[in-house]
Amino acid sequence: MESMFCCQLRAILRASAEGNVRVMFPMVATLDELKRAKSVLERCKAELKAEGVAYDENIKVGVMIETPAAVLIADLLAAECDFFSIGTNDLVQYIMAADRANIKVSHLYNPYSEAVIRAIRMAIQSAQSAGIECSMCGELASDSSAVEMLLEAGLRKFSVNTGSIAKIKYTITKTKTKTN
The reported pLDDT for the residue numbered 125 is 98
Q: What is the pTM of this model?
A: 0.91
Mean per-residue pLDDT of the chain: 95
In 3D space, the residue among 126, 10, 14 whose CA is nearest the CA of residue 63 turns out to be: 126
Residue 1: pLDDT over 80: no
Instruction: Please tell me the total number of residues recorded for the chain in this structure.
Output: 180
Q: What single-letter DSSP state applies at residue 102?
A: -
**What's the pLDDT at 47?**
97
Residue 75 is predicted with a pLDDT of 98
Buried b (16+ CB within 10 A) or exposed e, 76-105: ebbebbbbbbbbbbbbbbbbbebebeeeee
Homologous superfamily (CATH) of 2-179 is Phosphoenolpyruvate-binding domains (3.20.20.60)
Which spans in 1-157 are helix H?
A: 2-16, 31-51, 68-72, 74-78, 88-96, 114-130, 147-153
For 133-163, how does the pLDDT look when each residue is reduced to its tens digit (9 = 90+)? 999 999 999 999 999 999 999 999 999 999 9
